Structure 1
C-alpha cells in the first residue's frame, strides 16, 4: 500500500492539530510536516516533497495563493488542495489559476476531506459542489450558455461522466453510479479532457457549467 505524504499549512495551530488527528487515523496517509504561513509552506514543500499540501488561503507573510504558485513551481509533482470558507470567494479563481488541484470547505465532514486527499493524490482534480458554484460565478471565460468547444464530440457515456464530474462526484462514485469500473471511468475522464481541450478536471467542470450543461441537474 502506497502512503500519501501530506503537509498541512494553516496559521491556526488548533486547525493543524485537528487535521493531523483526522489524517493520522488513516492507514494510507501520513502527515509529514506543518507550516504556519505560506513562506514556511513553500520551504517545507521543497524540503519534504509531500504528495499533497492542505493549503489554507489566508495566512501571514505569504497567502496560500502565492504559496501554491511557488510550491508547484519549485516541486512540479506536488499537489495542492485548497481549504477554504465561504468568505474566501475572492481567492478561488486565483487559486485555480495558481495551479491548485482541489478546493474543499473547512467545515466539510472528515470523511470528505480524507477522500479528497486520495483523489488529488491520484492526479485528479476536485471541487466541492458548493465551491464549484463560486468558481463558476467568478469565471471570466466564455459567455454563460455558450457551448464549450468539443462538447458535441463527446459520446453519450462521456457526457454522463462529465455531468457526474460537474456534480462533484469522484471516480469511485461515478463508477458505482454508472455501473462501470474505475479504470473505465478514468479512461472516459481522460477522453473528456482531451476533447474539451482542458488541462484538468477542474477546467472540465467549469466548461460544463459555463455551457449550461449542469442547468437543472444540481439536485440529481
Structure 2
C-alpha cells in the first residue's frame, strides 16, 4: 500500500484528488491539509504516534501561510524519503523551478486525469521523476536566469564528461522526462539496468534526486554540447 498526503488550500481540490486516489486499490490517503505548515504539523504528529507516514505527497504550489516550495524544502530536509509531486497550472510555471531545487520529484497539472495521477504516484514511489517535456524544457530553462553563464556551464560539462556513453544516453532521456521503463524500451535494455545507471549518474553528478539530472542537463546546455 502506498500512502498519500494531499496538500492544497482549496477543499474541493483536496476532495477531488482524494477521490481519484481512491480509485487505485494500492493507494491510500493518510492525510489532507490546506497549507505547508499544516503538512509539517501532521507529519510530526504521525511520526510521533508511529502512524503510517506518507510515501508520496501531492503538493499545491501556491498556498497561504506556507507555500508548496517552502514546504517541500522543509519536508525533504526532515523526511528525505518522502516523494513530493507538485500540483501546478499553466500560469504557475514560473514557480515550478523553485520546487525542483527544493527537492520535488516532478509536476502534475491540476487537470490531470485519474489514471495519469495514479500512475505518477506509483512512478515517483518507485524512484522515477515526473517531468513532462513542456515542464522539462520551458520551465527549467526559464527558471535558470544564468543558464548560459560560461563558468557554470563549463564546470557542469566537465562533470557530464565523467559519464560513460550509456550514462550520457540515459541522462539525456531522463532530461526529456522519460521513466525507467520508457528508457529501457527506447534503448532495448532491462529496466533494472536503467535504474542502476541512473544511480551511477546521480553519484557522479553529486545529485540528490533524479529530477536534478534534468536540471543539471539544462544548466549545462548539453543538447548543444
TM-score w.r.t. length of structure 2 = 0.84
| Contact 1:46-1:71 at 8 Å conserved across structures | no
| Other-structure match for 1:135 | 140
Matched, 1:118 2:122: yes
| Other-structure match for 1:10 | 8
| Contact 1:23-1:29 at 8 Å conserved across structures | yes
2:186 pairs with one of 177, 189, 209: 177
Q: Offset of 1:56 from its aligned partner? A: 0.3
Residues 143-154 of structure 1 aligned to structure 2 (within 5 Å) = 143=148, 146=153, 148-154=157-163
Render the CA deviation track for 1:67-95: whole Å, top value 9, x for unaligned. 22222333332221111112223322222
| Contact 1:9-1:34 at 8 Å conserved across structures | yes
| Contact 2:141-2:147 at 8 Å conserved across structures | no
Matched, 1:25 2:20: no
5+ residue gaps, structure 1: 216-220
| Contact 1:144-1:211 at 8 Å conserved across structures | no
Aligned-partner SS, 2:161 = helix
Aligned-partner SS, 2:158 = coil
For the structure 1 residues 208 and 75, does the alpha-carbon distance in structure 2 shift closer, same or farther, using more than 3 Å as the test?
Answer: closer
| Contact 1:57-1:91 at 8 Å conserved across structures | yes
Aligned-partner SS, 1:7 = strand
Q: Distance in 2 between matches of 1:192 and 1:66?
A: 27
5+ residue gaps, structure 2: 47-52
For the structure 1 residues 149 and 28, does the alpha-carbon distance in structure 2 shift closer, same or farther, using more than 3 Å as the test?
Answer: farther
2:212 pairs with one of 199, 203, 212: 203
Aligned residues: 213
| Contact 2:36-2:66 at 8 Å conserved across structures | yes
Q: Offset of 1:179 from its aligned partner? A: 1.9
Q: Distance in 1 between matches of 2:36 and 2:106?
A: 17
Residues 89-104 of structure 1 aligned to structure 2 (within 5 Å) = 89-104=93-108
2:45 pairs with one of 44, 47, 53: 47
Q: Offset of 1:113 from its aligned partner? A: 2.1
Root mean square deviation, CA, Å: 2.1
Q: Offset of 1:144 from its aligned partner? A: 6.4
Q: Distance in 2 between matches of 1:123 and 1:5?
A: 15
Where relative contact order (Cα < 8 A, 6+ residues apart) is larger, the structure is 2
Aligned-partner SS, 1:83 = strand
| Contact 2:60-2:87 at 8 Å conserved across structures | yes
Matched, 1:167 2:176: yes
